Amino acid sequence: MFSDLSAQKEGSSLLCRPASEDQGPVFERMSLAYSPCSEHYRVGERSFSRQYAHIYAARLMQMRPLLTERAQQKWGSDVLIRKLCDLQTGEQCCIVGTLFKRMELQPSILREISEEHNLMPQPARVKYISESDELILEDELQRIKLDGKIDRDKCVTGSVIAVYGAERNDGKFTVEDFCTADLPLQSARPALSSDRFVLLASGLGLGSIHADSMLGLQLLVDMVTGQLGDQGEQSGAATISRVLLAGNLLSQNTQDKDATSKPKYLTKKTQAGSVEAIRLLDELLLQLVASVPVDVMPGQYDPTNYTIPQQPLHRCMFPLSAVYPTLKLASNPYQANIDGVRFLGTSGQNVCDIQRYSSMDSHLEILEETLRLRHLAPTAPDTLGCYPFYQKDPFILEECPHVYFSGNAPTFESKLIKGANGQEVLLVTIPDFSSTQTACLVNLRTLECEPVSFSAFSADDDEESEMNISH
Amino acid sequence: MTTKHRLITDSFKVVKKARRGGKREKRSTPPPPQKEAETDTVRQEELQKLRQFDLDWRFGPCTGISRLQRWERAQLHGLNPPEEIRELLLKTHIDPEYKLSLWSEYPL
């Protein structure tokens, strides 16, 4: 692990005379084979004239063969797979379809319009699930209400599943069992000879009102660039061969909503909050890219398009660091092969959205669930903004990643899961740096992951000091 | 009282002219009656086929995309759309009536 590599050894080089007059040892950073595979997250033509019916149709077209196969594996090859239009009451069969959860509390644009009728707008909530929710399964032509052994609160709209059961006389379908598409096949991971690390960080939160994360951030940069600690630690830093910043580089505060509501003459001379923050980011990136390759993914609050897939930030925003070939501006979702290890992940919008619309709370649990559903963002386009694709649903996983991550989580969590066909996937939720001062390091050789914290105080201390302030 | 003798067409001469022009056009078109009718029925048959393709639910929704795009999507997902439709579409891809779906004239 990284902590063993960089642990202070006895007779630290910091406490003795410098060995010679010149610079001292040079630790060569390992450079890795890198190939981005995010092509299908690039949106070429941007036509918004289409409806979202296409993405659901394409999703079902793509998933139906996969789920048919899975259903036959699970319930025997002679299982009766029916379309909803051929369904007979009381007959045991299997149906493949897209889930829809009808939710009373789901914010709706039509209800927002009803503000005109002087109704109170619905307050924002943490969760939108309620007791009155109903699960409905849709195929190409019809829909049916689901009942029985399926956890209503855990399911989310847009996931394609296969259910097994029978239709009752009252028109509801009683589910006895269901299955998801599960993990896709995985290509083999090459055996690496030495430990090498990829640093994952997210939620730098530049431009926030309280700049409390700046010290931690500078320590992070210094650690990666090898300007921290003694020779042992510096040689450890040289094994960090890539840095991945998973979104929300800017703070939410930079998104000034005042400008839209205030009259023009008041906001004429004010500068957008994000301008200063981007300049700060450019300077920070400059320090990093001079020493290590960096991938920058945009997130929810970053200046790029809002709908997923978010396109890479524009180079012209980084006049200092963009000249380095080591700066890679990537899309969100991100996919790349780093030394044969396939990374796939998002800046966390998909996970946060599922958290709001299901009973699941842990980001790690949701991450695993999306992998089992074989879909990065099932709630897009229902509750998560999404480009209206028509040909293919790019969020369906075609190949199983080795490292599957999501950014901007409240805490660091990681877990190694194993699939039925020998797949091995490391799930990582990258914590929000501005609130946790924590990044994480993934070992490409062993697929282990550990957090690196730059906070001088433990989480408990922070809570205490916050309490004191409020008194 | 002189006003009574004026006809209403005196003040709306433009309309009358336009009408005359229309009549003239009609007079000049008739020459190839049979051939036109033949190509017209062929065209109607082809369009009918394309409309049937639009209404085939197996290939997904048809609004907002061109017929060829829809055909290609169906092919991509292994749904075996009829080859004849593709040939027809490639042959006549400039004509918007062939290119766009049945509902293309309706607002979304």
Q: What digits encode the pLDDT tens for the residues A161-196? A: 999 998 888 888 999 999 998 898 888 888 888 888
Q: What is the pLDDT confidence band of residue A396, given thresholds at 50, 70 and 90?
A: very high
- Nearest-CA distance A89 → chain B (Å): 24
CB contact under 8 A, B72 and A61: no
pLDDT above 50: residue B43: yes
A142 lies in the same domain as A9 = no
A225 lies in the same domain as A170 = no
Closest CA to B103 of A71, A238, A51: A51
Each residue of A249-270: pLDDT tens digit? 888 877 766 666 777 776 666 6
CB B9 within 8 A of CB B16: yes
Residues 6+ apart with CB under 8 A from A418: A424, A425
What ipTM describes this predicted complex? 0.75
A36 lies in the same domain as A85 = no
Length reported for chain B: 108
Question: What residues in B contact A57, CB-CB < 8 Å?
Answer: 60-61
Joined together, the tokens standing for residue A379 give 């709630």
Q: What is the pLDDT confidence band of residue A86, given thresholds at 50, 70 and 90?
A: confident
CB contact under 8 A, B61 and A62: no
Q: Which amino acid makes up residue A193? A: S
A161 lies in the same domain as A124 = yes
Q: Is the dihedral of CA A366, A368, A372, A378 positive or negative?
A: positive
**3-state SS, residue A308:** strand
Residue A464: the pLDDT is 38
Assigned domain for B41 exists? no
CB contact under 8 A, B69 and A391: yes
A147 lies in the same domain as A189 = no
Assigned domain for B87 exists? yes
Give the end of a domain, one of A164, A179, A194: A179
A206 lies in the same domain as A328 = yes
Residue A463: the pLDDT is 41
Question: What residues in A contact B72, CB-CB < 8 Å?
Answer: 391
Q: What is the mean pLDDT of residues B45-73?
A: 86
For residue A31, give its domain range. 2-14+24-41+185-257+269-470
Helix (H) or strand (E) holding A438: strand A438-443
Question: What residues in B contact A51, CB-CB < 8 Å?
Answer: 61, 63-64, 108
* Count of domains observed in chain A: 2
Pick from A49, A58, A391: CB nearest B64: A49
**Residue-wise DSSP of A418-436:** E-TTS-EEEEEEEEBHHHH
More confident site: A301 or A274: A301
Where do the DSSP E strands lie in A206-333? 240-246, 294-297, 327-329
Q: What is the pLDDT confidence band of residue A33, given thresholds at 50, 70 and 90?
A: confident
Assigned domain for B76 exists? yes
Assigned domain for A47 exists? no
pLDDT above 80: residue A378: yes
DSSP 8-state class, residue A140 = S
Helix (H) or strand (E) holding A395: none
Each residue of A447-468: pLDDT tens digit? 899 998 887 654 444 443 333 3
Report yes or no: A65 at the B interface, CB cutoff 8 Å: yes
Assigned domain for B94 exists? yes
Assigned domain for B13 exists? no
CB contact under 8 A, A58 and B108: no
Q: What is the mean pLDDT of chain A?
A: 84
Strand partners, A246: A297
Q: Which amino acid makes up residue A289? A: V
A313 lies in the same domain as A376 = yes
CB A393 within 8 A of CB A55: yes
Each residue of A216-245: pLDDT tens digit? 888 899 888 888 877 777 888 888 889 999
Report yes or no: A138 at the B interface, CB cutoff 8 Å: no
A406 lies in the same domain as A387 = yes
pTM of the model: 0.82
Strands laid side by side in the A413-418 sheet: A34-36, A334-338, A341-346, A403-409, A424-431, A413-418
Strands A240-246 and A160-167, by their bridges, are unpaired
Each residue of A412-439: pLDDT tens digit? 999 999 988 888 999 999 999 888 889 9
CB A394 within 8 A of CB A54: no
Residue A10: the pLDDT is 53
Give the end of a domain, one of A149, A179, A209: A179
A289 lies in the same domain as A428 = yes
Question: What residues in B contact A140, CB-CB < 8 Å?
Answer: 57-58, 60
For residue B87, give its domain range. 62-108
CB atoms within 10 A of CB A294: 22
Assigned domain for A134 exists? yes
* Count of domains observed in chain B: 1
Report the C-alpha gap between A133 and A310 in whole angstroms: 31
pLDDT above 50: residue A469: no
Q: What is the pLDDT confidence band of residue B18, given thresholds at 50, 70 and 90?
A: very low
Give the end of a domain, one of A179, A202, A236: A179
Q: What is the mean pLDDT of residues A29-52?
A: 82
Pick from A49, A140, A390: CB nearest B108: A49
